[in-house]
Amino acid sequence: MREMRVRTDSEQETREFGKWLSQFLQPQDVIGLAGELGTGKTVLAQGIGEGLKVGERVKSPSFTILNEYNGRLPLYHLDLYRLVKEDFFRLGLDEYLSRDGVVVIEWAERVKEYLPEKTIYIELDRLTAHSRDLLVHSGKDIDADSWSRE
């Protein structure tokens, strides 16, 4: 799969999509999340964390910039909202792209041109108070047909 569009109709469905996506993740995979405030980037990251068997609730790293979690694979959750592009390198956050874990980056559009070719890039758009449109661009194979909202 190179591109798929998903509609979720609740926060739980957005979380479930992240959980489903996690089954395809391997060390050094990067998931870039883009979208306005309140579109569900952190909720999606929580689902990825659940799917990776992280033993705690994934929290927004808006103020800490980076949260690290242990699970089936290490999860590195970055939030670039308060940063400019140069901070990504100045703070050494780019070094996480080569670690043996999964990197989830909120506000990834700020560094999109520096992300690996196989990055899974997801654009989230709010349709209503509860529904979201997720446009997934993937540089790696994902069995899109296996996604089910059941």
Q: What is the 3-state secondary structure (H, E, C) of 114-128?
A: HCCCCCEEEEEEECC
Burial (CB count within 10 angstroms: exposed 0-12, middle 13-18, buried 19+), residue 35: buried
Domain boundaries, the chain: 3-146
Query: What is this structure's pTM?
Result: 0.94
Look up residue 65 and give its amino acid: I
Q: Quick one: which of 126, 102, 114, 115 has its CA closest to 35?
A: 126
Check residue 94 and give left, alpha or beta (phi > 0: left; psi -120 to 50: alpha): alpha
Tens of pLDDT, residue by residue over 72-108, are: 999 999 999 989 888 999 999 999 999 999 999 999 9
Q: Tell me the CATH number for domain 3-146.
A: 3.40.50.300
pLDDT at position 28 over 80: yes
How far, in Å, CA of 76 to CA of 93, rounded?
10
Tens of pLDDT, residue by residue over 104-120, are: 999 999 999 999 999 99
* Residue tagged 């890039």 (tokens): 121
